[in-house]
Amino acid sequence: MMPLAVVAGNTFVLKPSERTPLGAVRLAELFQEAGFPPGVLNVVHGARETVEALLAAPEVQAVSFVGSAPVARHIYAEAARHGKRVQALGGAKNHIVVMPDADLTTTIPALLGSAFGNAGERCLAGSVAVAVGDATRMLLDPLCEQTRKLVVGPGDQPGVDVGPLIRAEHRDRVAHYVEQGVAEGATLLVDGRTHRQRQGFFLGPTILNDVTPAMTVGREELFGPVLSVAHAQTLEKAIAQANHMALGNMAVIFTRDGRAAREFREGGRGGDGGRERPGGTTLRLFPLLGVEGIVLR
């Protein structure tokens, strides 16, 4: 958000999470080292009281937020009440579609990196893999095999693939989601909960199979190293699964030719992937095509 706002001629106030402030401070230092004048980029720390002060301050004319859905609703309502322009992005259930002709040497590393990188604690994590048709048969075994090889440990150690979650409460919350998924009918293929016995806030990469949009793990943002695998007979039905959920997003379609995805994107649906949903609202999808290892917008 910072570069866009500054390039457009604005000054910017960054309020990072009080639990993860160091990255924001380092970015501000880099801005200063690059020669930006004082006051162009400002960093303030704190929790809710800092947020409320920014929302009420008349000097702040626009607000942009990324975080959980409940907080996003509050930010949106309060910023609007104070007459500010507001962008409030809350929650995401990013779907990655695997077509039967997908190149697994490209697809599986991408799935692992997306679902388990940063321990799944990022808004763009691919948390649902939708296997279309015969992709189910070819995908699961090598995906699980490679997942079990991932190294869990402190992120500052060489060779570690999956680091700890942010705190014990969140680790336990994500583990509870896994338990809830199994209770609701999902099949546990890889169980990372064994790492909870270690010192630290560790939860290993976990894969749940046969996940549906009706399940909690299929519709809520978990924000942890858990990949839900769903199944669909066609690309159209895979896209419908994402459309079925309030937080559903289509992120990537892995295929070798991309014709089906291109037809969906360009033909007969408004040209931009807009899809009618129950209640008359429209969810716009912008599929990316993973073609021969190259991602195309």
pTM value is 0.82
Task: State the average pLDDT over residues 97-126.
Answer: 94
Task: State the average pLDDT over residues 117-136.
Answer: 94
| Predicted confidence (pLDDT) per residue in 234-254, tens digit | 999 998 888 887 777 777 899
Q: Which residues are catalytic?
A: 123
| Predicted confidence (pLDDT) per residue in 197-237, tens digit | 899 999 999 999 999 999 999 999 999 999 999 999 999 99
Q: Determine phi and psi for 29, rounding to 5 degrees.
A: -65, -40
Task: State the average pLDDT over residues 114-127.
Answer: 93
Structure-token match 């990316």, residue found:
288
- How far is residue 192 from each of residues 91, 142, 162, 226, 272, measured CA to CA in Å? 23, 17, 11, 9, 38
Residue, of 199 and 268, whose pLDDT is higher = 199
Residue 143 reports pLDDT greater than 50: yes
- How far is residue 43 from each of residues 40, 56, 60, 76, measured CA to CA in Å? 10, 17, 14, 21
> CA angle at residue 185 from 110 to 169, to 5 degrees?
65
Q: How far is CA 62 from the centre of its chain?
A: 24
Task: State the average pLDDT over residues 288-296.
Answer: 38
| Predicted confidence (pLDDT) per residue in 36-64, tens digit | 999 999 999 999 999 999 999 999 999 99
- Within a 13 Å sphere around the CA of 37, how many CA atoms are in the beta-carbon half? 6
Task: At 37, list the tokens.
Answer: 């004048």
The predicted structure's pLDDT at residue 258: 61
Closest CA to 235 of 215, 262, 213: 262
Q: Cα–Cα distance between 9 and 15 in angstroms, integer?
A: 19
Q: Mark residue 101 as left, alpha or beta (left: phi above 0; alpha: psi -120 to 50; beta: remaining).
A: alpha
Q: Where are the domains of the chain?
A: 2-90, 93-296
Closest CA to 294 of 110, 94, 96, 127: 110
Using pLDDT thresholds of 50, 70 and 90, give the confidence band for residue 281. Answer: very low
The topology under which CATH files domain 93-296 is Aldehyde Dehydrogenase; Chain A, domain 2 (3.40.309)
Task: State the average pLDDT over residues 88-102.
Answer: 91
Contact 237, 183 (CB under 8 A): no
Q: Determine phi and psi for 257, rounding to 5 degrees.
A: -115, -30
Task: State the average pLDDT over residues 128-148.
Answer: 96
| Predicted confidence (pLDDT) per residue in 13-28, tens digit | 999 999 999 999 999 9
Task: State the average pLDDT over residues 147-155.
Answer: 96
